[in-house]
Amino acid sequence: MGLGNPGITYEKTRHNVGFLVLDRLAEINHIFISTKRFKSLYGAGRIDSERLILIKPMTLMNRSGDAVRKVLDFFQAGIEDLIAIHDDLDLPFGRLRFKLRGGDGGHQGVRSIIESVGQSAFLRLKIGIGRPPRGMDPADYVLTPFDEIQYSDLLQIVSRAAEALNVVVLQGIDTAMNRYQRKSTPLFQSP
């Protein structure tokens, strides 16, 4: 599940990086995210023999859990089957980090999922968007578009995140973490 806000207004904002990654994952695996149901747009397909349901909640970010609950119930999936893809203010721009379990880290979409399903035992792929400039409210920052320099790097970051998700599905989380989660330096430096 890619987290974001629906609508053209939010399309290229930092908060919608989850949607961008999911769209890229769909593209490279020839999955069409076009079915409207469960307060979402979704598409079903396969990566090799693994079946996937790619979901973009069409609720606002802070109501993402409503869609998650409906999808998990309908497809009779457990919370351990969920991977939530979302932005993270506390990671430098371009850094990827996997996390299994834990709190919401202040992310309203993750908080909504935890509240709706009653637990936090799901995998997250966090994409670093960096901290807001001094004096800017983080809530405003996540709803602003990437600057020109960052946007030019964003396509590579989104592709790298989609590749990491393919590795999770086919080879497991440990392999993906070793290959894509770097502790030393972010993929790109903020300007």
For the segment 150-163, what is each residue's pLDDT rounded down to a tens digit? 888 999 999 999 99
> Active-site residue among 15, 30, 86, 107?
15
d(CA 155, CA 161): 10
Please, which pLDDT band fits residue 146 given cuts at 50, 70 and 90? confident
pLDDT at residue number 183: 53
- pTM, full prediction: 0.90
pLDDT at residue number 190: 43
| Helices and strands (DSSP H and E) totals, the chain | 6, 6
Q: Enumerate domains of the chain plus CATH numbers.
A: 8-180 (3.40.50.1470)
For the segment 26-68, what is each residue's pLDDT rounded down to a tens digit? 999 999 999 999 999 999 999 888 899 999 999 988 899 999 9
Q: Is 127 exposed, middle or buried (0-12, 13-18, 19+ CB in 10 A)?
A: buried
Name the helix (H) or strand (E) containing 125. Answer: strand 123-128
Please, which pLDDT band fits residue 191 given cuts at 50, 70 and 90? very low
For the segment 59-83, what is each residue's pLDDT rounded down to a tens digit? 988 899 999 999 999 999 888 999 9
Find the mean pLDDT for residues 155-178: 93
Does 107 participate in catalysis according to the annotation?
Answer: no
